[in-house]
Structure 1
Amino acid sequence: MVDFRYWRAYGKLFQDLIEDEYDVRALVLASSLSKMFTAGLDLNEASNLVEETADMKRDGARTSLSMHKLIRRFQEAITKPDQAPFPVIAAVHGPVFGLGVDIISSCDIRYAAENSIFAIKEVDVGLAADIGSLAYLPKITGNQSLIRELAYTGRAFSAKEAEKLGLVSRIIPGSREEVVKAALELAKTIAGKSPIAVSGSKRLISHARDHSVSENLEYTQTWNAHAIVTKDMAECATSMKERRTPEFAPLKVPSKL
């Protein structure tokens, strides 16, 4: 179960990686649990926090404002991978329930072990999923009908159905060890590419998801007009000519600020 200490630490970790001068080229997100990715949010702790937030001494408007702030902070933490300049690869196995679906929905790429099982479980506790699933999944899958079915019923679906739906891009035979290994291999491949090209691709794909084709093409013009001055292009050409592995500088420039 995921408690509130987890999501605060999760959000802070990604914020540190985004803001500080770490040379992160790709990141694999996996669970330390051997039998599952996550069973979802710790409902007991969530209920206690909601009761504390909904203090009866406050009036309804003030209670709602407090709850709005809590949900916003939760959303900001769990959707940090989407904001990161580097790709985040989710490697899941076993149950991926409730908040687990929210967590992986904001990742760039999702690999699933063959024993993975998914469910948008919030409906079974009397709540609409509010941390990312309902925002991301219709755009990830392009299947409004099935996402509505899954959100309205809370039914579980297999790795095969998740792959067919477009939620995961690969099913890996085995369980945790095998899917993490496959994700790390992918991360290693991505890390060997130009960080300017990878980061730019991520930003442009994310922009395309949220904008029209014409708006994205115009945005790409502006982005690549600046990005094209990178030395990475020359390094790619030189390394191919010399038949060696290219070497790219970190994406971030050290700052004294």
Structure 2
Amino acid sequence: MLKRLHAIIVAVVLTAPALAHAQSADLVLCDRVAADPSDPDKPADIKGVPEIAASDITTAIKYCAIAARSSRRAMYELGRAHAANRQATEAAAAWRKAADKGSTSAMVELGVLYGTGTGVGKDEAQARKLFERAAQAGNARGVSNLAALGGNAASDPARARELLARSAETNAEAQYQLGMMLADGKGGAQDDIAARALFEKAAAQNHPGALERMGAFVAAGRGGPKDTDAAKAYYERAAALGDEDAKKALERARCPYVIKDKLGNAVTNLCF
């Protein structure tokens, strides 16, 4: 079946010279199973997957390894495939190569490995350096991870907003992160209307966190109209993508009545 799928993609590429010049059949397959939805290198017409399915790991490693010879995006995706296969050392090697070629997503992931000491020696200074490079290039996760380390973005939240705004026009993660800053009033004035608009943009791209935030904003009528049914729909979409806060929100809605003991401790919920 896999060989047949590969043959079909090769045929399609060969019948479309412009597309064939743009990307190989191996890259098409690599993107299909391993593209990161938040990767700035990802073309807009590629959906991506939040997590690589276990059944797709072998396919991802095989075809991303071939495509990575000429594509830094594929090299980054190869790192994702190795990480999904619990091969931290191999993931680090792939991300290092992709980062050297300018992949900001690879910089972030490699920084996480250095920050946690997974697959490489723990080195917070190296993690900070990688996050700073990604943040300077406008990578949203680079900005937020740098802030978590207490880097420049944390000491200057206004600068963090500026960095996020660079990629917020098209990148869902940047829209979500900037929306969070606007919602919390970090780095400038609080603006629920603008935050909601950013969450809505990211939610349209199936960003789990943005879907959960849209649920919360719509449920409370924050930054726009209140709509309980719409809020539930947002929560359900976020929960389906694995967002734990959305799952809790749905459970609270299903079981809103808290039963407490004589000390005031919650012991159970009544559901309907």
- Higher RCO (Cα < 8 Å, 6 or more apart): 1
TM-score greater than 0.5 by the shorter chain: no
**Structure having the larger proportion of residues in strand:** 1
**Structure having the larger proportion of residues in helix:** 2
